[in-house]
Amino acid sequence: MVYLSAILALIAGIGIFLVACQMMSSNLESASSDRLKALFAKAGKSRLLGVGIGALGTAAIQSSGATTVMVIGFVNVGIMSLTQAATIIYGANIGTTITAQIVALGLSSGGGLSTTAIFAAFAGIGAFIALFAKSDMGKRIGGILAGFGMLFVGLTMMSDSMEGFAQEESVRNFLAQISNPLLLVLIGAVLTAIIQSSSVMTSVAITMVVAGLISLNQGIYLTLGSNIGSCVVAIIAGMTSGLNAKRTALIHLFFNCFGVIVFMLVASVFFLSTAGALDFGVLFERMFPGVPQLQMAMFHTIFNVTTVIIILPLTDLLVSTVCRIIPERVTAQSLTQQPHFFFVDEKMMRTPIIAARQVKLEIEHMAQMAMQNYDRSLRMVTTLSFDEREDFVRDEAQLDFLNHELVQYIVRLNALSLPEADHHYLANAIRSVSDLERIGDYAENITEYADILAQAGESFSEQMISEIEQMRDLVFNVYQLTMKAYMNTDREAYWQAHAYEDQVDDLNDRMEQLHIDRMASAQCSPTVGAQYIELASNSERISDHLINVGKTIGGLYPR
């Protein structure tokens, strides 16, 4: 019964600890996602900066797994290079050590009142704040505090269960027999892979050391194993994604295995050179005497920082090695022929606010493709050269793909927990996707006019081509200002775009009148005149759809 009670308490403590980590992670992620995205965007400036960003981001959201999955998503959609991803993963391993430091602090007591009891009280404080808060930010703050407090509730239960085990001589004797470093590393890796949280495994190891169930040296090797087991989340995320995502997951695995191997070799040198008198346990007991929880936490931090220092200069070699292990299986050209997302990814659903920002980038890129096809269609119809037909067809297929798949993605994303402003944006984003797909359809109409002219053996006159060029310039002015308004929420740019759209309307009317005059004076054939007037009308409709996209910046569409 003593064993059963202790096991149940341990399972309950681990469960509460895991829920607390998830609660803190999700609420911190929501509260800081804009800043995280801005940080990640700066990661390419230097490798040290990438490490710092990874460490800061992970410390902020209390989850190296979430950071790694985000990075894999960014690599998968081409936002981040493998080298950038590697440096952020290095930093994430440093940032995750903050949890062990928090646990060490919680297991420290001064005077009559333990820090664990003080911090555990935040669970109730946060719950009350979340319950009565009116704003989204207030609810997130309450969730963060509640999660923080629950960490220590779970820690208390784990610690109490360890004390129950420690009272049993048979348990202590059994655990004392597990002294082989490789076996301990394997146990740590397997248990971490099962619970998918190195933070929990490290915390359990710390409580076991503090309770006297295992030695400091045993706890250190379990912690080393937890670093390898933590790669499971990244591997699962990477294996179900694209080529570079798989490579990123492998980089994460190699990084952690490299660190463990280096420290195991150093431990062997210590042991052999001192005839067994010196190991990591003895070393850290001397460095931080009398505080086993701090000894474990500091080893965890020093291990990760040292591994980063060693491997950072070897990043290029690591990336090239991973690329050789997982080579390209298809050509870059064949990849670009297949319709796909450029900026969003299914894995980003784990971080809804960041996914919402990526939707905006996907729509911006969709607009760019639609207008590029409009430009191609004008060149086809004015020159009757069809060299760009293949590129046009490829991008039209991409636009059709996005019109269906991106809308489905937005619908699923909008069903998740997001701030009200993001829900409103995503609702309008569906309309924007439809508007941009219609631009592609109008461009396709213009290519059909080119086919009709070519089959009839006729073409536009120089004057007509000059007027079409004027229309093109005005429509592209509308496009550029609309996207400036859309991406920067620039209302002034929107109204400037609207002014150009009025000029498009005027030019469309003028082109209709010029068409009538030419027909009356027999200056053009009915076939040429019909295609000319349809082209002008299609261009005017394209500018209308661009203006619709601009309306989504807020307050211009009715709610």
Query: Which of 200, 249, 228, 227 minimizes the C-alpha distance to 70?
Result: 249
Q: Which has the higher per-residue pLDDT, 186 or 10?
A: 186
Name, in order, each residue with C-beta under 8 angstroms of 24's C-beta and a sequence gap of 6 or more: 61, 62, 143, 144, 147, 148, 151
- Which residues, in sequence order, are bridge partners of residue 113? 110
Looking at residue 114, its pLDDT comes to 58
Looking at residue 326, its pLDDT comes to 84
Looking at residue 35, its pLDDT comes to 58
Tell me, what amino acid is at 480? Q
Query: Which of 70, 62, 63, 64 minimizes the C-alpha distance to 41?
Result: 70
CA 154, chain centre distance (Å): 29
Longest pairwise C-alpha distance within the chain = 110
The token duo for 331 is 């050509």
Looking at residue 133, its pLDDT comes to 82
Is residue 531 very low, low, confident or very high in pLDDT (cuts 50, 70, 90)?
Answer: very high
Query: Which of 411, 398, 93 minimizes the C-alpha distance to 259?
Result: 93
Percent of the chain with pLDDT over 70: 84
Q: Is the dihedral angle over the CA atoms 382, 386, 391, 397 positive or is it negative?
A: positive
- Helix runs in 386-490, H state only: 389-414, 420-456, 462-488
Return d(Cα 203, Cα 191) in angstroms, integer.
Answer: 12
Please say if the pLDDT value at position 78 is more than 70.
Answer: no
Return d(Cα 368, Cα 486) in angstroms, integer.
Answer: 13
Question: Where are the domain boundaries for CATH 1.20.58.220 in the chain?
Answer: 337-553
Name, in order, each residue with C-beta under 8 angstroms of 45's C-beta and a sequence gap of 6 or more: none
- Please give the backbone phi and psi of residue 114, each rounded to the nearest 5 degrees, phi first: -75, 150
Element (H, E) at 208: helix 198-211
Please say if the pLDDT value at position 90 is more than 80.
Answer: yes
Please say if the pLDDT value at position 150 is more than 70.
Answer: yes
Return left, alpha or beta for 275; rule: phi > 0 is left, psi -120 to 50 is alpha, else beta.
left
| Mean pLDDT estimate for the chain | 82
Q: Which has the higher per-residue pLDDT, 422 or 330?
A: 422
Q: Which has the higher per-residue pLDDT, 442 or 247?
A: 442
Return d(Cα 159, Cα 304) in angstroms, integer.
Answer: 25
Looking at residue 25, its pLDDT comes to 63
Classify residue 275 by its DSSP letter: T
Return d(Cα 423, Cα 353) in angstroms, integer.
Answer: 10
Is residue 330 very low, low, confident or very high in pLDDT (cuts 50, 70, 90)?
Answer: very low
Q: Are 168 and 255 in contact (CB under 8 A)?
A: no
Number of continuous H segments (helices) and E segments (strands) in the chain: 24, 2
Is residue 112 very low, low, confident or very high in pLDDT (cuts 50, 70, 90)?
Answer: very low
Please say if the pLDDT value at position 240 is more than 60.
Answer: no
Tell me, what amino acid is at 370? A
Q: Are 300 and 97 in contact (CB under 8 A)?
A: yes
Please say if the pLDDT value at position 500 is more than 60.
Answer: yes
Looking at residue 503, its pLDDT comes to 96
Mean pLDDT of 133-137: 78
Q: Are 483 and 494 in contact (CB under 8 A)?
A: no
Q: Which has the higher per-residue pLDDT, 41 or 273?
A: 273
Q: What is the pTM of this model?
A: 0.60
Say whether domain 337-553 belongs to CATH 1.20.58.220.
yes
Indicate the range of 33-42, 411-420, 427-436 predicted with least confidence: 33-42
Looking at residue 239, its pLDDT comes to 64
- Please give the backbone phi and psi of residue 344, each rounded to the nearest 5 degrees, phi first: -110, 165
Mean pLDDT of 86-109: 81
Mean pLDDT of 310-328: 88
Q: Is the dihedral angle over the CA atoms 242, 247, 253, 256 positive or is it negative?
A: negative
The token duo for 499 is 């002014």
Name, in order, each residue with C-beta under 8 angstroms of 117's C-beta and a sequence gap of 6 or more: 152
Classify residue 312 by its DSSP letter: G
Is residue 333 very low, low, confident or very high in pLDDT (cuts 50, 70, 90)?
Answer: very low
Which three-class secondary structure state does DSSP give residue 113?
strand
Mean pLDDT of 189-201: 78
Q: Which has the higher per-residue pLDDT, 254 or 21?
A: 254
Is residue 73 very low, low, confident or very high in pLDDT (cuts 50, 70, 90)?
Answer: low
Is residue 448 very low, low, confident or very high in pLDDT (cuts 50, 70, 90)?
Answer: very high
Which three-class secondary structure state does DSSP give residue 339?
coil
Q: Are 138 and 129 in contact (CB under 8 A)?
A: yes
Decide the pairing of beta strands 113-114 and 109-110.
antiparallel
Name, in order, each residue with C-beta under 8 angstroms of 387's C-beta and a sequence gap of 6 or more: none
Indicate the range of 239-253, 313-327, 465-479 predicted with least confidence: 239-253
Mean pLDDT of 199-216: 83
Return left, alpha or beta for 480; rule: phi > 0 is left, psi -120 to 50 is alpha, else beta.
alpha
Please say if the pLDDT value at position 335 is more than 50.
Answer: no
Q: Is the dihedral angle over the CA atoms 12, 5, 121, 200 positive or is it negative?
A: negative
Q: Are 102 and 115 in contact (CB under 8 A)?
A: no
Q: Which has the higher per-residue pLDDT, 360 or 9?
A: 360
Return d(Cα 498, Cα 492) in angstroms, integer.
Answer: 10
Looking at residue 334, its pLDDT comes to 43
Residues 15-46 as b/e (b if ≥16 CB within 10 A, e otherwise) read ebbbebbbbbbbbbbbbbbeebbebbeebeee
Looking at residue 82, its pLDDT comes to 83
Query: What is the per-residue DSSP string for 349-365?
Result: GGSHHHHHHHHHHHHHH
Query: Which of 19, 56, 17 minimizes the C-alpha distance to 39?
Result: 56
Tell me, what amino acid is at 536? A
Tell me, what amino acid is at 62? Q
CA distances from 467 to 320, 382, 441, 471 (A): 53, 11, 22, 6
Looking at residue 376, its pLDDT comes to 95
CA distances from 30 to 10, 145, 269, 348, 434 (A): 30, 14, 46, 13, 29
What pLDDT digit, counting tens, does each position of 370-400 carry? 999 999 999 999 999 999 999 999 999 999 9
Please say if the pLDDT value at position 38 is more than 80.
Answer: no
Which of 29-33, 236-240, 340-344, 513-517 tops mean pLDDT? 513-517
Looking at residue 154, its pLDDT comes to 78
Return d(Cα 204, Cα 222) in angstroms, integer.
Answer: 10
Percent of the chain with pLDDT over 90: 33
Mean pLDDT of 208-218: 85
CA 95, chain centre distance (Å): 17
Looking at residue 361, its pLDDT comes to 87
For tokens 């990849």, the residue is: 335
Looking at residue 392, its pLDDT comes to 94
Is residue 420 very low, low, confident or very high in pLDDT (cuts 50, 70, 90)?
Answer: confident
